[in-house]
Amino acid sequence: MSQGAPRTVRDYVLYVERRLTSAHVGFGHGTDNARDEAAWLVAGAMKIRPETLSAQLMLVPKARDTARIRALLAARIRTRAPLSYLLREAWFAGRRFYIDSRVIVPRSLIGEFLLPGDPSPLAPPGIRSILDLCTGSGAIAISAAFAYPAAHVDAVDISPEALAVAARNVRSHRLSHRVQLISSDLFAALSGRRYDLILSNPPYVAEDEMQNLPIEYRREPRLALAGGPDGLDLVLPILYQAHRHLTAHGRLVLEVGASREALEARFPETPFLWLASEADDCVGYWHKEDLTVFRPS
């Protein structure tokens, strides 16, 4: 880093990185290291897209920008809130979403399969109906609507607060005509509805893991994280019921996180197909007929 006080955008990124590192803040809500978090913080303070920051590293920020950088940095260290909550934004599948503490910060690995410009491998391009179960901020539902422009998307959540955030994102992405928000406890309010594709990133954090989460994760709604003793309290009902809500050639895509081990132990004779992602292999993929092996004990 240059000597003395930070002057350029590059100086501020390195300054913020050093402060975040020395404060031992936790990552995992859009970044996984201090350098990337610092770049995002500086870009957010200057109201520029993070991917354009590298072209502006030698610029000298205006006084109002440097004041905001320092204020955001101080709040990030003091509160241990995820940066998304401080910036009121998250980037998911290449798009910006409004985020606040009523929802978890969107980071599902399902987003890797819904990127702009890439044909999604999850289902044929002409599918007509999609369900996003446990939608939270609506990020998966909205990304799926863009990935499958011929499809109608139902986005379900039990939390009124989450649905309010999702509604804001649906409006801002101008998808109110294609994305319908539904208040429901999983499939309870979906009687008779069938979908070509069901996507779900439900709460799946086991009790022991919940007790040891970093502070940043404990700033998120517990309802959106806690999955019961082994993390399967919602995963299992989804697996048991999804076949009733899939069309004949429908597919289920379900993220289970660290509860993958518990799920495989519950069904030791059942082969699982896990989609390969950059971070982890914990997103399961089933055709409708594959789900017949799952029955409540």
What would the pLDDT profile of 43-95 be if each residue is shown by its tens digit?
999 998 888 999 999 999 999 999 999 999 999 999 999 999 999 999 999 99
- Looking at the chain, the domain(s) classified CATH 1.10.8 span 9-85
Question: Looking at 58-194, which runs of residues are DSSP E strands?
Answer: 90-92, 95-97, 129-133, 152-157, 179-183
pLDDT above 70: residue 2: no
pLDDT above 80: residue 269: yes
pLDDT tens column, 214-261? 999 999 999 999 999 999 999 999 999 999 999 999 999 999 999 999
**Averaged pLDDT for residues 125-132:** 96
CATH 3.40.50.150 corresponds to the domain 90-293: yes
Please tell me the predicted confidence (pLDDT) of residue 3.
Answer: 56
State the pTM of this model.
0.94
Residue 256 in tokens: 């289970």
Side-chain half-sphere CA neighbours of 61 within 13 A: 26
Q: Give the orientation angle of helix 34-45 with respect to helix 63-79, to 10 degrees.
A: 130
- Looking at the chain, the domain(s) classified CATH 3.40.50.150 span 90-293
Q: Give the orientation angle of helix 34-45 with respect to helix 9-23, to 10 degrees.
A: 130
Give 5-11 contacts, CB < 8 A, sequence gap 24+: 6/66, 7/60, 8/57, 8/58, 8/59, 8/60, 8/61, 9/42, 9/46, 9/53, 9/56, 9/57, 9/58, 9/59, 9/60, 9/61, 10/57, 10/58
Class of domain 9-85: mainly alpha
